[in-house]
Each structure stands twice: as C-alpha cells, then as structure tokens.
Amino acid sequence: MPELLFKTGEGETRIFAAPDETLLAAARKANVAIDAPCSGNGVCGKCRVCILSGETKAPAPKHLTKEEFDQGWRLACETTALTDCVIDVPDIASAYRRRMKTADLSSGEELELFRSVGASLAEAGLGVDSGVSVVAVAMDEPVAGDGLPDNERLARAVQDALGTEDEPEVPFFCLKKLPGLMRESGFSLKAVVEEKGGRAKLLDVLAPDDGTPPAGLAVDIGTTTVAAVLCDLTTGEILAKASSGNGQIRYGADVINRIVEQGRPGGVARLQDAVVRETLVPVIEAICAESGVPASHIYKVSLAGNTTMEHLLLGVPAEYLRTEPYVPAFFAAAPLDPAEIGVRLAPGCVMTLAPNIGSYVGGDITSGALASMIWDSDGPDMLIDLGTNGEIVFGGREFLMSCACSAGPAFEGGDISCGMRATDGAIEKASIDRETMEPAFGVIGDTAPVGVCGSGIIDVIAGLFEAGIINGKGRFVRDGRRVVRDEFGAGYVLAFGDESGTGRRLVLNETDIDSFIRAKGAVFSAIMTLISSLGFTASDLNRISVAGGIGSGINVANAIKIGMLPDLPLDRYRYIGNSSLTGMWAHLTSRPAAEKLGEISSSMTYIELSTEPGYMDAFVAACFLPHTDGSLFPSVTGGAK
C-alpha cells in the first residue's frame, strides 16, 4: 500500500492508501481537510492538490490546464497513488477550516444590522425581553433553630426578590455548588433566573462579585457558513461574533450531497461531527475567548438552519428528505440540552431550533422572515435569501408564502471555477471599465484577490455585459488583453498570475457564466412565479429585503442589470445581511419575538416550485441577460424586447 504524506498549512499527516482509494478519500480518513463542494464527483474542480513526489494515476485533466497538470496539479477526487507520494494541499483547498472569523464589532457595520432589526421589532412591540435577569439575594445565615436547607433558603430568597407565586426549583448543578458558595459569600449571592408564565426558573447561582453577564448564543448553521453571536440576555447587547466555514463542506457543497453522504455507513455521526465538533464548538470557543464570557455562562441557544442542516446537526437521519414523499423527521424539534449533541455550555442550557416549514424551506427562513419584519407589513413585501440555495418569502400581515429555488451554490462561490466564499481574499465588489475593459475590485481583507464571491460575480457579469464584452447568452463577443480563449473556452482574466494572491491566473470563463446565469434565472423565475400565483405583478412589491452571505451586500443595481432581481426603484430594496442570525438573536432576547416566530411558521405556506405550472418555462426564459423578455427590465433595455 502506498503511503501518502499530506502537507498542509497546519502540518504533515501520513496515511496508507487502500487499493484504488482516491487521494480525497484517503485525506478524509486521515482528517486532512480538502474542499470538495461536489463531494468528490469530479465536477467542481475545487479539490486540486499538487503532487510533489511519487507516481499517481489520474484521468485526462478537465479542470486543469495542461501546464498545471504538468506541474503536478491533480484533482484529489479522481487521482489514486501508485507509489508513496508527497502531496501539497494548497491553502485554498483547506482554507474553509481555518476561516474562523471573529468580527470586529467596533466598526459598527455588523452591529447596525442587529440594532436596526431590534429597533423595528421594538416598534412592533417585540422589544428585548428575554425573561432572564440577575437578582442579588441576601439570606439570613442559618443559626440553631433555623436549619432551613440551603436550597430552600435560596429558593425562598429568590421568590421574595422576584415576587413570584412559587419558589423556584433549585436544579442539581446549582445544588452542587450551593453549600460552598453560600458560605464563602456570607449568604449573599447572585441568582440568574428566567421568568416564564409567572414562574421563575433558576438558571445559575454566582458569587456576588461575579460580573459576567448571563449570555445567550444565536446561531445560524448555513450549508456553507456557520455564524454565531453571543449576547447579554438581560440587555440584548451583542458581546461577540464569530463565523467559520461549515466543516461538512468536504462532503459536498450542497445539501443533496450531504444527505447522500449521511446515508452511507457511519455517515450520520460523520456529518454531525463535522458541523458540531469541527465547526460549532470552535466557533463558540472563539466567541468565548473574544467576549471573555466562559461557555458555562451561556444559558440559552437559539439556532436556525435549513431543514437538512437542522437534521444533520442533531444527528437525525435526513435521507428521507431527498426520497419521495420527502418527509422530514421534524419541522419543529423539541428543545434540547446542547450537551446532547456534544456542545457543553451551562448545565441545563436549553437550545431551541427555529421551526422548518418544508423540506426545503427551513428554520433559517422562518427566522429570517421574523427579522425582515415582512409579517408586520401591509405588503406585499418580499424576502430573498441568497445562500447555497435561494429561498423566497412573499406576503405581509395578511398572508405569507414561501418557496425554494435550487439556485445551486453559485451565490456562495460554488460551481464557479474561481469562486469562493465571502472571506479574506474574495473579490466582493467589481466594476469593469467600458473602454479599457480593465477591472477595479474591492477585495475582502484588502489583499490580492484569490477568488470571487457571490456579490463580486454579480458585479463582474454585470460589468462584462454592460461593456459589451459578453452578450445576453453569456458568450464572449469582444476581444482584448483580458479575454482569453483556452481549453475551457473563452474567459475574462480577473487577475493575472502576478496580480493574484495565489500566483495563479483567476479567470471567469463561459462555463462559470453559464452556471451563474442558471442560478440567477432560478431566483428570478421563482420570484415571478410566487408573485403571479396570487395575481400580483412585480411592481406591486413594496419592500424587498435581500439577505444572505454573499458578501457585505450585493449591488442591487447590478443584480437588476443581469436580470436577477425585478426592475424596481432601488429604494424598494435593502440588504439585511444574515437575517437567519438576526432572527435568532431576536428569538433569544425577546419572548414576544419568539412567540411571533411560532406564529410565522405556522401561518406560512410552502409552494413546491417543481410542481407549479409555468415555473419551468419562466426559468428557461430567465436564463438570459437580463431576460428573454426585455420589457421586464425597461431600465436595462430601454423597454425593448
């Protein structure tokens, strides 16, 4: 058996490869992270590694230039070792693992989204009101004749302090520390309590000088990115934020590949481990380090993900989500202690999952709908969440309907040869000079570009189209220094080797543009199908909230130019960021908001697009820049057909 030595930015790992085992399969076994959005089907070309020594067997290169192939580059998913090999795993391939980010909240940009949602909710009567408070209690010291046990002494003092009807129960983990704590503190201490329906629940007891705020964690488990904020449950204040790529990515970029992998032997545990131990736990560690709040002070968790992500997170078999009749194990899971899935926070911590409403419209969307305020509007309004999938909510106070469109992972940089997620090195804004055809970029982290994320791709395609470099079909119709034609067809050079952060040329080619046009077509046709199903037209839309992790916000004007969003005045649009996360923050910090989430999810109807008459025609018609029916985009076409 050939021995493989993987070299990554994190160190070296050796493993013996089984006969005919691909480098990707061996790497997974050895816990060496290699990005594989297509789950190793040889489709996406993202799992490229460089063979430094040794003999390998691989098919003719499809995603690699001849030059790259000659340099030793291979796709790990279709390469097997014939002899011992030394394999370099480039940073970009395993970067999702180290892309742990804690947000610099001082900039205020991140915070503004939460503040704005908080203000809107408060105006609607759903302001910060978690029911959690910290009460200082002073008790009489026991003396002969007053032998009240410690737990009853505390319970009585808390009841007195709160004026509740009953004494709270003192749970086991508080009981354990109570005798020592009471006597060290001279029978004065702080009780962390949660009021609920007139009753108080004791969450913790703390020393009187313990100033740590009682914390709650809001989490969004995205297919691509896991993000969390820690907040003070008494004030709602955000204490820290962190995010990371979802460790499940090496089992596929989209939910279908993940479900397939979960169905294999040991898959349920493997997928759960990837998102919990490899992703969520480090995110929480980062957030605790950043905020100085220990995990043992996190008393509540509100978490949202799409239906598949919530299943995989809990380790609940998800395979019946992708086979007829597409039945999930749950829409709303009973609250649980996160320790049950291996996340150790405060003992007795309660984790609530946002309810799903369909197999492909999940808790992230109900949570996002809460944050978007669509439920409080005269409407009709719309929420468009552009993540690995696209989901759309349409309606207002009177009705709410939703659908999912299989946009594919293009908005997260998947399916695009030079695509990447919105992290350091990603081109997130772009413009192209009509004359010189030269680009200008905004790159996350202000570094040389290593790839392009969703918002950047929209800008680039809009720029190429406006400059007449590509036509409505996405074909290159102009030549220049940056237009190249090679074995992958024509493409636009975003960065030459000496301009890029990797030393490799970054090219957006016709195949990439095709993928993206299909993705934007899926979104636009879904929007139109939803609107017209109730007899509305696009111009009836009052306010459109765009959410999702496609950068620090998309350029809506450009999105309209390429026919992705309806051609409406720009002031009807607003970018609301990760609305699943802000919704969970609201759920965590406001009991009335949590109740509202329940109402939203039980009233929202789900439209299955694939069975909706006319959807397929609408989709095909939308796979053009901006649209085969130019009259839908008068601001772009001047009204011409």
SS3 annotation, 570-625: HHHEEEEECHHHHHHHHHHHEHHHHHHHHHHHHHCEECCHHHCCCHHHHHHHHCCC
Please give the full DSSP string across 475-541, using - where no structure is assigned: -B----TTEEEETTEEEEEEE-TTTSSSSSPEEEEHHHHHHHHHHHHHHHHHHHHHHHHTT--GGG-
Q: Which of 84, 129, 169, 195 binds its own copies (CB under 8 A)?
A: 169
d(CA 582, CA 559): 24
Q: Does 612 bind its own copies (CB under 8 A)?
A: no
Q: Does 178 bind its own copies (CB under 8 A)?
A: yes
Assign residue 253 a region (left: φ > 0; alpha: ψ between -120 and 50; beta: otherwise): alpha
Q: Which of 19, 325, 535, 569 binds its own copies (CB under 8 A)?
A: 325
Structure-token pair, residue 83 = 């002899």
Q: How far is CA 422 from CA 290, 415, 450, 503, in A?
A: 21, 15, 11, 20
Give the residue among 383, 367, 348, 419 at the shortest CA–CA distance from 545.
Answer: 383
- Of the pair 176, 481, the CB lying nearest its own copies is at 176
Q: Does 333 bind its own copies (CB under 8 A)?
A: yes
- Of the pair 113, 333, the CB lying nearest its own copies is at 333
Q: 392 — phi, psi (to 5°)?
A: -130, 135
Strands, E assignment, 236-284: 238-245
Residues 235-264, interacting with its own copies (CB under 8 A): none
- Of the pair 16, 173, the CB lying nearest its own copies is at 173
Q: Does 613 bind its own copies (CB under 8 A)?
A: no
Residues 129-158, interacting with its own copies (CB under 8 A): 142-152
- Of the pair 328, 551, the CB lying nearest its own copies is at 328
Q: Does 173 bind its own copies (CB under 8 A)?
A: yes
Residues 181-240, interacting with its own copies (CB under 8 A): 183
Please, what is the minimum distance in Å from the beta carbon of residue 311 to its own copies? Answer: 9
- Of the pair 209, 324, the CB lying nearest its own copies is at 324
Q: Which of 60, 107, 163, 172 binds its own copies (CB under 8 A)?
A: 172
Taken in order 98, 103, 107, 112, the sign of the CA dihedral is: positive
The β-bridge partners of 452 are: 419, 427
Q: Which of 76, 170, 275, 287 binds its own copies (CB under 8 A)?
A: 170
Length of the chain: 641
Please, what is the minimum distance in Å from the beta carbon of residue 519 to its own copies? Answer: 27
- Of the pair 68, 169, the CB lying nearest its own copies is at 169
Do residues 200 and 163 lie in contact, with contact meaning Cβ atoms separated by under 8 Å?
A: no
Residues 343-402, interacting with its own copies (CB under 8 A): 347, 358-359
Please, what is the minimum distance in Å from the beta carbon of residue 615 to its own copies? Answer: 17
- Of the pair 174, 506, the CB lying nearest its own copies is at 174
Q: How far is CA 617 from CA 423, 535, 628, in A?
A: 36, 18, 11
Q: Does 299 bind its own copies (CB under 8 A)?
A: no
Q: Does 315 bind its own copies (CB under 8 A)?
A: yes
Q: Residue 100 burial (CB < 10 Å; 0-12/13-18/19+)?
A: middle
Give the residue among 513, 509, 471 at the shortest CA–CA distance from 492.
Answer: 509
Please, what is the minimum distance in Å from the beta carbon of residue 316 to its own copies? Answer: 5
SS3 annotation, 422-451: CCCCEEEEEEECCCCCCEEEEEHHHCCCCE
Stretch that binds its own copies, among 120-128, 173-181, 561-569, 633-641 (CB under 8 A): 173-181
Structure-token pair, residue 237 = 């204040």
- Of the pair 201, 596, the CB lying nearest its own copies is at 201
Stretch that binds its own copies, among 281-289, 328-336, 421-429, 630-638 (CB under 8 A): 328-336
Please, what is the minimum distance in Å from the beta carbon of residue 585 to its own copies? Answer: 24
Please, what is the minimum distance in Å from the beta carbon of residue 149 to its own copies? Answer: 5
Stretch that binds its own copies, among 8-16, 117-125, 334-342, 396-404 (CB under 8 A): 334-342
User: Which residue's entry shows tokens 């926070």?
Assistant: 345
DSSP 234: T
Stretch that binds its own copies, among 52-60, 90-98, 323-331, 438-446 (CB under 8 A): 323-331
Give the residue among 342, 285, 363 at the shortest CA–CA distance from 100.
Answer: 285
Q: What residues make contact with its own copies under the rule CB under 8 A?
A: 142-152, 169-173, 175-176, 178-180, 183, 314-317, 319-320, 324-331, 333-334, 336, 340, 347, 358-359
